[in-house]
Amino acid sequence: MDFRLTKQEQQLKEMYEDFFRNAIKNAPDIFKRGGGFEATFSDDEGFAFHRKMATILGEKNWLSLPWPKELGGSEASIMHQLIFNEAREVSRCPGYDFHGCAMFAPTLLVFGNDDQKKRFLPPIARGEVQYCQAWSEPDAGSDLSSLQTSAKKDGDNWVINGQKVWVTAAHRADCMFTIVRTDPESTGSKGLSYFYVDINSPGIEVRPLYYMNGAHVYNEVFFTDVRVPHKDLIGGEGNGWQVTMATMNFERSGMGFFSTGKKALDRIIDYVKTTRRNGELLSENAFIRQEIGKIYASLEAGTMLAYRVGFTQASGDMMAAASAASESKILGSEISRDISDFGTKVLGLHGMLEESDATPLLNVIEEYQNSVGLTIAGGSNEIQRSIISWMAPLNMPRWKLVNPATVKK
């Protein structure tokens, strides 16, 4: 099998890489330390740059590459989209609203009606809106289907009450997609529905959850009698679980882990090639060389896995795509953790410092702290392993997910 890009794909890759390499030069300093959620959502200047870049990417029609032409897209191939994703993520340039472009839009293309596609897709394509994903609840994370936030029908509206938690970027968002219980008699995954919600609707309160260093990325979102029009129900009443599963698989394709991992590894390689300890160039140290080789091999394998997720999704085999997406998510989040762990070891005591002139790879400790969350976000790795075990080709008996917090003693 030949994994090399065609000549045309190689040209695309170089064009996107050139664009993002130049664009990131104009980013505020906070992105020079590695970028990521903290730079984009916690810092005002960082968020302003993200919005500016979103508009630029929107003008180039790069936020809607695979969509049908009649909906403003370019009908680009999955390979084209993946090449774009990889180039953007390697540069760590912001401007791409992952929640809107990579989660909500593809879900809408499958489950939205014509009116919803017409209303919600163009602002995403133009880079005008920031989305967030309001799914998890204090007692419903891994076992998301035990969620309790409810919506009751009242004329042409639904009235939502309840609480969501860990909502990334809710304080910066214009809108959200959420899943709530619309059948009060139901339990588990039945009786749930999926809504688009304007975050400025009366009755929504967003409260910050701060990092230990004071950064603001995550939030709690409280709903008190929030009225949402029926026309914003996506995929039909009671079908929320099916719609959510589709969004989840789009979330887990995982290319970002491997692209940002390559960038992080490059920085470590530059450092070890130019730094001596006890008279020895670090790049001559056998342990360091072996770790670099090991990480590089995992990143190459992971990139192929992420491409496979994209191809399987495009082929419409959503069961195989779900299993491949879980594999990619596990490998990607664990390799991100291993790279930053290795980075802190290479730096020695300096690796513990944040934002200090004495720290040669400024972002390493922040990435190390963030990397733990990556193994939990988007569904913890334990749950991903369970998913792989019960899907083809392993076909193990399915184990019911039980949330310890909701087990009656």
Ligand X SMILES: Cc1cc2nc3c(=O)[nH]c(=O)nc-3n(C[C@H](O)[C@H](O)[C@H](O)COP(=O)(O)OP(=O)(O)OC[C@H]3O[C@@H](n4cnc5c(N)ncnc54)[C@H](O)[C@@H]3O)c2cc1C
Nearer Cβ to ligand X (122/373):
373
Q: C-beta of 16: minimal distance to ligand X in Å?
A: 26
- One-letter amino acid at 398 equals R
Name the residue among 406, 365, 322 with its Cα closest to residue 146: 406
Judged by CB under 6 A, does residue 382 bind ligand X? yes
Structure tokens at 49: 């740059």
Structure tokens at 60: 């180039």
Q: Which of 71, 110, 318, 383 binds ligand X (CB under 6 A)?
A: 383
Neighbours of 30 (CB within 10 A): 18
What is the Cα–Cα distance from 297 to 128, expressed in whole angstroms? 39
SS3 154: strand
Q: C-beta of 143: minimal distance to ligand X in Å?
A: 6
> For ligand X, which stretch binds (CB under 6 A), given 73-81, 164-172, 242-250, 291-299?
164-172
Torsions phi, psi of 176, nearest 5?
A: -145, 165
Q: C-beta of 349: minimal distance to ligand X in Å?
A: 27
| Angle, alpha carbons 355-361-362 (nearest 5°) | 20
Q: What is the DSSP string of 391-408?
A: STTT-PPPPPP--GGG--
Q: Which of 57, 76, 167, 264 binds ligand X (CB under 6 A)?
A: 167
What is the Cα–Cα distance from 14 to 299, expressed in whole angstroms? 20
Judged by CB under 6 A, does residue 136 bind ligand X? yes
Q: By Cβ distance, which residue is nearest to ligand X?
A: 141
Angle separating helix axes 78-91 and 255-274, nearest 10 degrees:
40
Per-residue interface string for the shown chain with ligand X, residues 95-134, x marking contact by CB under 6 A: --------------------------------------xx
Q: Which of 95, 127, 360, 379 binds ligand X (CB under 6 A)?
A: 379
Q: Which of 150, 275, 344, 380 binds ligand X (CB under 6 A)?
A: 380
What is the Cα–Cα distance from 110 to 235, expressed in whole angstroms? 9
Cβ-based burial of 22 (10 A; exposed 0-12, middle 13-18, buried ≥19): exposed
Nearer Cβ to ligand X (34/73):
34
| Alpha helix segments (H runs only) across 103-211 | 105-111, 114-125
Q: Which of 91, 168, 249, 313 binds ligand X (CB under 6 A)?
A: 168
Q: Which of 49, 104, 135, 223 binds ligand X (CB under 6 A)?
A: 135
Judged by CB under 6 A, does residue 391 bind ligand X? no
How many residues contact ligand X, by CB under 6 A? Answer: 20
Q: C-beta of 3: minimal distance to ligand X in Å?
A: 32
Judged by CB under 6 A, does residue 377 bind ligand X? yes
Judged by CB under 6 A, does residue 141 bind ligand X? yes
Contact set for ligand X, span 285-344 (CB under 6 A) = none
Stretch (H or E) spanning 298: helix 286-315
Q: Where are the beta strands (DSSP E) in 199-257?
A: 204-210, 216-229, 233-234
Q: C-beta of 228: minimal distance to ligand X in Å?
A: 17
Q: C-beta of 197: minimal distance to ligand X in Å?
A: 13
Chain residues binding ligand X by CB under 6 A are: 133-136, 141-142, 166-168, 373, 376-377, 379-380, 382-383, 386, 401-403
